Structure 1
Amino acid sequence: MTHVTSGPYAPPRPRRTTTVTSADGSRLHVEEHGREEGPTVVLAHGWTCSTAFWGPVIRRLADEHRVIAYDQRGHGRSPAAGPGGHTTTALADDLCAVLEAAGSRAVVAGHSMGGMTVMAAAGRPQVREHVAAALLCNTGSSRLLHESTVVPLRAGGLRHRVQKAVLGSSLPLGPVTPLGMRILRYATMGPAATREQIEACARIVHACPRRVRASWAREVLAVLDLEAGLAGLDVPTAVIAGEKDRLTPPVHARRLAEALPNCTGLTELPGLGHMAPVEAPDAVAGAVAALVRDHLARDTRPPAPSAEKEMS
């Protein structure tokens, strides 16, 4: 089972689904939720996740917003990338294709690798035309393996090597078991995470194909360096971090807040880990809604002419 099917962390049924084709021909599964006439929000999930990960946030936004979520290539219902398809350029291409297909200006929120996707697309014409504001959630722009604390060793070369081997492993995770849930909670969630939250995340993460998981870890996360392009992300941008995040500790968020040319604020969520959209969906949905209210609702620029690409 790729995700839980009942309860507050189950993904809602989309109002519409479609397929968007990226620059290299990769096909992306895209879902549309909420009010068709509402302000548009685009959600980009992180490594090993899927649109289902955004379920609790979508539920909180859907009454007032048009919410578009898509599966990153190789995740969820988007087919795996071909050779050379695991790059930050590919991530940016995919986001730009979804933005163009959405056909309206939007607030974009990216979690973890989804935040890296937003940063990778900084300065692109599609972002300037279609994005009114952005949210970067539990993410970083560089030095991920140097500063991650998933492996409980002192900072240094040994920890870096061990973390690189662990995160880049292609070993199967197997079925979701109590032991697997405890490991996932330690690595990705805060100490107050509930069993429902842990199981929701475990179902999604364990469903990610192991070769996809390993390819993104080795070819992007292990060598990530997006700092030079941060100046190009000049739309109003909010940053969220989890105080207990082991994968992207708050030091990443603080650097982002300092480097972004138009940072609207940094929120560090006490006691929370890497999975803020599941651990604290009210906080994440509230940050998105605030960006819509403050920057999209006031945006008087017309959307770029892309009616022929609108999702239908």
Structure 2
Amino acid sequence: MSDLHLRQWPGAEERPALALHCMMGNASYWGPIAGKLADKVRISAPDLPGHGQSPDWPGEPDYHSFTTQAVARLIDRPMDLIGHSLGATVALRIAIAAPEAVRSLTLIEPVLFAATPDPANDAVMQELHALVAAGQSDEAARRFLSIWGGIQWESQTPAGRERLARQMQLVVAGNETLMRDAANMLREGGLEGIDAPCMILIGQDSPAVIGDIADALAARLPDVGRARLPGAAHMLPITHPRQVAELIGLNLDRA
């Protein structure tokens, strides 16, 4: 049994779904979406390691592998997997490793940067790594959130800033997988082996690399739908929960 803190909402008991949040988030933001999909599925969502009320990452194995293993222990029958950002890459990794465990797969803003190398994004991530290594995690978090977080650093409480700065260590620890595919998710036949209905959902105003990643993944997934949400950026499950829930629902109906 996983030791991740698990949040659960009422829903269709006979059809469990698992929702995985983004880096520096926590599972609570799935609540509005879970409510809108309660007639279709019962959504549970863990706080990922080092987030919310879950324990910290112990330092090994690598952050993405540790997180994937912890989440996989929550799956005891075929489930609908829904993931956002980092959570989308964890859901994708599980679907590649155990396609029989996945009833449907919804990937929201997947950040598997290795799918489509982007020099500009690589440069930004290298800069963030250098800041963390130099002990400037506050500045690294401020810059990271300006691109991916949709929140203002200055608006955070001192405790919130401390938490976000500390979580930059997780950003650095996860990027061996996200940027260099250390988990070999892009291996020949991996994506092609997912036979569940998939949806890739992105925001129209997200960083350009997200659209490129979506193109690269969609070209290899056997059964995939795509949607680009107008007026939305990377944090669309929080900013546009109604529209996101409707699009997830379309993919659930296909399964």
TM-score over 0.5 for the pair: yes
**Residues 122 and 29 of structure 1: CA distance in aligned 2, closer, same or farther (over 3 Å):** same
Give the alignment's TM-score, normalised by structure 2. 0.79
Q: Which amino acid counterpart does residue 56 of structure 1 have in structure 2?
A: P
On the 8 A contact 1:110/1:117 being kept in 2, the answer is yes
Largest Rg, 1 or 2 = 1
After superposition, the C-alpha distances for 1:175-232 in whole angstroms (9 at most, x for unaligned) are: xxxxx7x994x42367xxxxxx879x96897574543x23322222255223223233
**In structure 1, C-alpha distance between the alignment counterparts of 2:235 and 2:128, rounded to whole Å:** 19
Q: 3-state SS of the aligned residue for 2:113?
A: coil
Instruction: For residue 56 of structure 2, give the secondary structure of its aligned residue in structure 1.
Output: coil
Give the conservation status (yes or no) of the 8 Å contact 1:87–1:219. Answer: yes
Partner of 2:193: 232
Could you say which residue in structure 1 is the equivalent of 2:204?
Answer: 243
**Stretches of structure 2 lacking an aligned partner (at least 5 in a row):** none
Q: Relative to total residues, which structure has the larger helix share, 1 or 2? A: 2
Residue in structure 2 matching 1:161, options 126, 130, 139? 126
Structure 1 residues 135-193: Cα deviation after superposition (integer angstroms, max 9, x where no partner): 00011323389538xxxxxx38754532444688865659xxxxx7x994x42367xxx
The CA RMSD measured in Å over matched residues stands at 3.5
Q: Does 1:218 align with 2:172?
A: yes
- Equivalent residue number for residue 5 of structure 2: 29
Of residues 86, 90, 108, the one that matches 2:81 is 108
Q: Distance in 2 between matches of 1:245 and 1:89?
A: 26
Contact 1:34 1:61 in 2 (8 A): no
Paired residue type of 1:187: I
| % identical aligned pairs | 22
Distance 1:208 1:61 in 2: 31
> Which runs of structure 1 show a deviation greater than 4 angstroms over 4 or more consecutive aligned residues?
156-160, 166-174, 201-209
Cα separation, 2, equivalents of 1:114 and 1:168: 25
Shift of 1:276: 1.2
Match of 1:294 in 2: 254
C-alpha distance in structure 2 between counterparts of 1:205 and 1:258, whole Å:
39
Unpaired segments ≥5 residues, structure 1 = 1-19, 22-26, 149-154, 175-179, 191-196, 296-312
Contact residue 189 and residue 273 of structure 1 kept, 8 A: no
- CA 258–145 in structure 1, closer or farther in 2 if over 3 Å, else same: closer
Partner of 1:309: none
Q: How far off its partner does 1:57 sit? A: 1.3
Q: Distance in 1 between matches of 2:96 and 2:233?
A: 30
Give the TM-score taking structure 1 as reference length. Answer: 0.66
Aligned residues: 244
User: 1:17 matched to which residue of 2?
Assistant: none
Q: Residues 43 and 67 of structure 1 are in contact (CA less than 8 Å); yes or no, is this contact kept in structure 2?
A: yes
